[in-house]
Structure 1
Amino acid sequence: MKAIVAKRVSMLELFYDLIFVYAISRITAMIHYPAAGGLPVLPYLEFAIVVIIVMQIWLYQALYINRFGESRLVDNIGLLISMYAMTYLANNINTEWSTTFRTFNTAVLLIVANLIWQYLCGSGSNPLQDRGVRAFTITLSLEFIAVLAGLVIGYRYGIYLCVLGGLIGFLMPLTIYRQFVPDKVNFPHLVERLSLIIIITFGEMLVNVTRYFTGTLVNPLALAIFAFVAALFGTYIIQSELLINHHQQTRGFVLMYSHVFTVVALLSMTAGLDYLTISAVSQTFLWVFLSVGLIAYYICLYFNGVYNRRGRLGKSDYCWLALILVVGISVAFAWRRSDLGIVCGLALASLGQCGYLLFKIVPRK
């Protein structure tokens, strides 16, 4: 097998990602306002759907650049068009879907049409002879038709077609994944791109928790939150940078889909940390909400173990990691009557995960 040379992430790709910093902050705001002691199911479901729609748009653009991008005119114009439309889309993310329905989905329509154009014009002289390009084009065309039909029908019933379009774009590749050839994917570039979207999501978390860092430098709650967030990020670094074999031929489907749900988990925990000082929020709900987010985060993270270097982690290691997680969450439950107790328990779980992974990867004399 020939050596895999990592494709460099261009400055324009990084510029394009900047709008997703704003989009992620807008998405997080969707679940920042709990009601009746917790968060109703419907607003959370709407939040998850918007994450999926935004992330599948980002993934299609990233995959095009990964497979075919060479900083040509078609690549650069395509990125700029997507960024322009994405700015409108991000500005219309909120919980009142009826008021932003037309602008939001018109932006989706423009982005999807632009992606179809990029795949057809930037992937070679006979694009539809490539099975992967053909699969991408069919999937995006179905999404385009569903969203367009939804816009024509109007909000009352059209919203369901628009959501269906987003779900088609997200889920259909799973049903035709054999159409995608592994050696077309530059895996190191894909890992780097996905890591960047996680860094952006962690940035949103850090921005939201800064309000706890006031007064004296020795603030127990601030220290516990910082330890929690730092350990979460530490485990991500260890898994994505030190355990994964970056130089392999793979479709990368597990990596991509796990990262979508990692974003959902991280933004959920971001909102949960924001609930700490809201007295109307039930402490039991807060414990459940943060704990489920934490469990989901580590499940997504360790699913990526399928890409690890051989022999780095075994079944017994994952059993120990699961036990550490259970112990930390149990401590948080026992101390759930206080915000500090919940955060300390969850920080213990994350620090335990990070410490165990470090113990496994650091060579011992």
Structure 2
Amino acid sequence: MIELFYDLVFAYMISQATELLHNLQHGIVGLNSFLLFFLVVIVFINSWMIQSVFTNRYGQSSWTDITFYFVNMIILLFMTNSFSVTVFKNLRIFFVAAGLLSLTLGIQYLFIYFKTNEIIDKTISITFFKITMIRTVFLFIGGFLNNLFGFIIALLGILFSWILPAFTGKVTKKHPIIFSHLLERLTLLIIITFGEMIIGIADYFKPASFSIYSIIVFLIVAGLFFSYITEFDHLINEKQDNTTGNLLIYLHYFILFGLSLMTVTLKLVNEPETNMVFANSCLYGGMLLFYIGLFLANTYNAERYKFKLNEGIIIISLILIGYMINIFTLKFEWIVISSAIVVLLNSAILVKKLYQN
């Protein structure tokens, strides 16, 4: 239950981070906004992943665990309010707060190192302690220097801590994660993201703006959600033995970033100042990222539910066709209609896979 309470902070974070992409400059979202968005989301979600994997392996719902959760929630709430697109060059507070969060995550692993008698758990805990300490030191340096050099140092620390866990499989597979628990946690994170998407399209359902296109926009969201739950609630095999869960974690970055791009675009695409080429590209770019994430999950699917190459080609082709049609029209109505058709057809392909077998 404490994990669910902890996730509420991330619901707020996703909302705040998505706002970074609502800042239009000459009809498009500026490069600074995109960079800051990806930076912020990677820091938060990487921290969420490290905490979730720790709980998966070593969590006991003890008072110590609960205390760390509460401390981390306080830091996360502060971090969520310490960034905005207007202070891209002044991320000092954010870096220092993120460093504190990394420090608390590292301390949890250090406790395990001294507590356990198992050699493999000592190896795993000291490995993740080192990873979190690298990020802690680099973020503190970036925060205290507060200049371009400091920003680069902090960025390197963030990227290292994001990428390094992918290379721990040789060690972590000796103490595999509980796959079903990790899948449940990641699914909840994506449901939170879908919640932000629902909030993003809510303006279409005001009495003054409601139309048939409001329903079509909702069908896009519903189709994406249906695709996601078909893959991760039905096609996937939850009984995975001796797995690190690394692939499951990293493929969800594609899904998360894809949904975030689509969330912003579905809101901006009906605004007169929006550059429609940009909006169409973001919408279908996000859609492509989303389905790449689903394809990568094919590794975990039950054997009878494995995707065939031709099915993947059809889904990618539908996305490309939808994108090209919209490039020639660049009308709000065409964009939402074609997007709904593409998403619903792709969803139907996934459902067909389920009922075929």
TM-score, length-normalised on structure 2?
Answer: 0.93
Q: 1:72 to 1:199 in 2, by over 3 A?
A: same
Alpha-carbon separation, structure 2, partners of 1:107 and 1:217:
41
**Letter of the aligned partner of 1:253 in structure 2?**
N
Aligned to 2:351: 358
Distance 1:128 1:164, change over 3 A: farther
Give the C-alpha shift of residue 100 in structure 1.
5.8
> Shift in Å at residue 331 of structure 1?
3.7
Deviations 1:234-272 (A, max 9, x none): 000001110110110211111111112321111111111
Q: SS at the partner of 2:28?
A: coil
Q: Which stretch shifts more, 91-100 or 196-205?
A: 91-100
In the alignment, does 2:109 pair up with 1:119?
Answer: yes
Q: Does the alignment pair 1:196 with 2:188?
A: yes
Residues 62 and 193, structure 1, Cα contact 8 Å, conserved in 2: yes
Separation in 1 of the partners of 2:120 and 2:298?
33
Structure 1's 30 and 218: CA in aligned 2 closer, same or farther, altered over 3 A?
Answer: closer
CA contact (8 A) 2:186 2:249 kept: yes
Q: Which has the higher contact order (CA 8 A, sep 6+)?
A: 1
Q: Post-superposition shift, 1:177? A: 3.1
- Partners of 2:228 and 2:72 lie apart in 1 by 29
Q: Is the alpha carbon distance of 1:218 and 1:21 closer, same or farther for their aligned partners in structure 2, counting shifts above 3 Å?
A: closer
Q: Which residue of 1 aligns with 2:164?
A: 172
Residue 277 of structure 2 corresponds to residue 284 of structure 1: yes
Spell out the pairing of 1:1-365 with structure 2 (5 A cutoff): 11-97=1-87, 101-122=91-112, 124-126=115-117, 130=121, 131-181=123-173, 183-215=175-207, 219-249=211-241, 250-312=243-305, 313-336=307-330, 338-363=331-356
Alpha-carbon displacement from aligned partner over 1:190-210 (angstroms, at most 9, x marks no partner): 000001110111111110110
- Residue 39 and residue 217 in structure 1: after superposition, are their counterparts in 2 closer, same or farther (change >3 A)? closer
Bigger CA drift: 223-232 or 132-141? 132-141
User: Could you tell which deviates more after superposition, 204-213 or 115-124?
Assistant: 115-124
- Deviation of the 1:41 alpha carbon: 2.4
Structure 2 counterpart of 1:231, which letter? G
Distance in 2 (alpha carbons) for counterparts of 1:314 and 1:306? 12
Aligned equivalents of 2:321, 2:197: Cα separation in 1: 24
| Uncovered stretches (5+) of structure 2, i.e. residues with no partner | none
Q: Which amino acid aligns with 1:333?
A: I
Q: Which runs of 4+ in 1 moved over 6 A?
A: none
Mean Cα deviation higher: 223-232 or 274-283:
274-283
- Superposed CA RMSD: 2.0
Determine if contact 1:74/1:118 at 8 Å carries over to the other structure: no
Higher mean alpha-carbon deviation, 307-316 vs 219-228, is at 307-316
Percent of aligned pairs sharing the same letter: 28
Letter in 2 for 1:262: I
